[in-house]
Amino acid sequence: MKESYATLDTTAHPLAGQTLTGASIIVQVLADEGVQTVFGYSGGAILPTYDAIFVYNQNQSQGGGQRMPLVVPANEQAAGFMAAGYARASGKVGVCIVTSGPGATNTVTPVRDCMADSIPIVVICGQVGTSAIGSDAFQEAPVAAIMGSVAKHVFLVTDPAKLEATVRTAFEIARTGRPGPVVIDVPKDVQNWQGVFQGSGRLPMAGYRQRMNRLARNVLGEAQATQFFDLLAKSERPLIYAGGGVINGGATKALREFSREFNIPVVTTLMGLGVDDTTHPLSMRMLGMHGTAFANYAVDDCDFLIALGARFDDRVAGNPPKFAKHARHIAQIDIDASEINKVKNVHWHHVGLLPEALQALISHGRRTRFARDWSAWLKHCADMKVAHPMDYDRSSPLIQPYYVIEEINKLTQGEAIISTGVGQHQMWAAQYFDFKSPRLWLTSGSMGTMGFGLPAAIGAKFAHPERLVIDIDGDGSIRMNLGELETVTTYDLGVKVVLLNNFGDGMVRQWQKLFYKGRMSASDKSLHKKDFVKAAQADGFRFAVRLDRKEDVPRVVKEFIEFQGPAFLEVVIDPDAGVYPMVGPGQAYDAMITGDHIVSRTEPVAVEPGASEMF
């Protein structure tokens, strides 16, 4: 039975009690949730909602309100990555609206990408009418079945009276707990339906809310804090291992305070870059398969590892029994109970909100006047930075990718938003850029999705139009969403695109050289003659330059960064440039390959991975 107008709390929302279409209800809830930009591509099954956005913006313009721009990419996958880039850069929920069938299935990859990296987005898909579902109607796809295995949650709205509550609940699920993507599949007749706008209300998700309430109530108490500091007191070489969960949980400030308060060095995962200021003395930068040598050695040498918002994944702990092999104790704080003891057994743990947990530890340490002299350990870490720095062949006549990034970094000073595709360029950017703050590093970490960089940069620029946003990309990766160059110029976005061109899939080639006896199966694209500069010019880039002389690098890079507006720079780099250090699949850090220019503590040998080991 529908609630009457008279019983509604009309003070809660100015539109409460009014009759709206389902599509208008969707758009109004987006506005209520603080959505400022929507990314998507239209189609028949989502047309009512697109029309509602148009009408909403028209009304806002006439009334002097805040419009909700709808950004149209070249395809729906890019729309999903734009929403993800927006979410990663802003910390808010990104929104993607697409049509049914292929429109929805094109977003599967960004949805899975966001799930893997714990990124909050809401994807709203059009669907065929409810009476046609299951009939193989035109542009029908079983979205709930497809997305159910890759999203945090999926809703199929068949009762239009529940539409408003469903959209509000989707945002709640996306942003709370361990963030993730939520998909709402909305049939066209539900969008066209007319009903009373409530202005509030969510679905009865009792189990989920109980879990969230337990997390919030699970405060780190005195007994737990005492146990933690007992372990810390026994340590001579403590080390913080921080992951992307620190950023997602809003715990960057607390982590830095904890690290500085007790003088504990920090290594970060790929997703955790920016958690600690990479220019700070306590920062040991990134660990893992392509982490710095000194970070990996610090992990090997530490005797107490403190894992914060990190999950011991295979890119970090490729050989779990030998990971942190000298650590007598491991502590772990995470919001997700399933991550505790999943890969490495720990001696102390806490499941809960990370900022509150760290503040509890800081307060306990101050109250008990905890103090330890770790000067020998700190000197050891500082000495390792000097003894095993990142380096490369600086005398080579060819342009080295590391040199290009160093030159850009001199100008950006750790303040730019950097997005990447996936491959060698991704690792070079992670290794050679500085990041003074969180949410400056946007990359597809767990999924490793090529084509991520350019659309993610676009999303970030909409989130932060005042900031410098640079996409560091590769010739293989950028091809996957090359059509978004036109999106950059269409919206006159000052996005900078750096294409490090080595004429092939460099990371695959590096593995083929190391582990497949140099058999370059389908990875050498040197016969492809695409002129990327002409492509950028055709898409409207007024600055589109090809850099192929080493002596021109400083000048051209400066011109590129200082150019006002969209800029495209293709750099022809040494095709044999490799990503080092490298820890082979299934290997421990003592088998790390450091290449010819980074000093190693050992003499590792490339070991061919077993048939079951991952890329």
The token pair at 305 is 């590892």
User: Other C-beta atoms within 10 Å of 83: how many?
Assistant: 34
CA distance linking residue 167 with residue 174, whole number of Å:
11
CA distance linking residue 481 with residue 453, whole number of Å:
9
- In 3D, which of 546, 594, 552 has the Cα closest to residue 568? 546
CA distance linking residue 511 with residue 524, whole number of Å:
13
Under a CB-based contact definition with an 8 Å cutoff, are residues 275 and 255 in contact? Answer: yes
- In 3D, which of 97, 85, 260 has the Cα closest to residue 170? 97
- Write the DSSP symbol of residue 498: E
Helix locations, 64-153, DSSP H: 76-90, 102-105, 108-117, 143-147
In one-letter notation, the amino acid at residue 484 is: E
- Asked if omega into 397 is within 30° of 0 (cis), the reply is no
CA distance linking residue 399 with residue 338, whole number of Å:
45
CA distance linking residue 107 with residue 104, whole number of Å:
5
CA distance linking residue 404 with residue 412, whole number of Å:
12
Classified as helix, coil or strand, 349 is strand
CA distance linking residue 278 with residue 355, whole number of Å:
20
To which residue do tokens 């192929």 refer? Answer: 548
CA distance linking residue 2 with residue 325, whole number of Å:
63
Under a CB-based contact definition with an 8 Å cutoff, are residues 68 and 38 in contact? Answer: yes
- In 3D, which of 211, 139, 144 has the Cα closest to residue 182? 144
**Which residues are part of the catalytic machinery?**
76, 138-139, 188, 507
CA distance linking residue 175 with residue 181, whole number of Å:
9
